[in-house]
Amino acid sequence: MIVGIFALIGALLGISTARRRKGTAADVAQYSIGFGVAFGVVGLVVALILRAVVG
């Protein structure tokens, strides 16, 4: 659940960044996917740390 939320936030942030930079549709898609994957990996690390700490 945490990974999905982080990935969604990353994708939305990527869309926002690409639009702010006046990117084309391909730019928006690339930023969205790139940020989504990056934030998803961060979310996975957070989930693993929480699982190790909480039990």
CA distance 28 to 35: 11
Q: How far apart are CA 18 and CA 43, in angstroms?
A: 22
Which residue type is seen at 2? I
Q: What is the pLDDT of residue 11?
A: 99
pTM: 0.90
pLDDT in tens, 12-41: 999 999 999 999 999 999 999 999 999 999
Strand, coil or helix: what is 14?
helix
Structural domains counted in the chain: 1
How far apart CA 25 and CA 19 sit, in angstroms, is 9
Domain that holds residue 48: 2-54
Residues whose CB falls within 8 Å of the CB of residue 40, separated by 6 or more in sequence, listed in order? 3, 4, 6, 7, 10
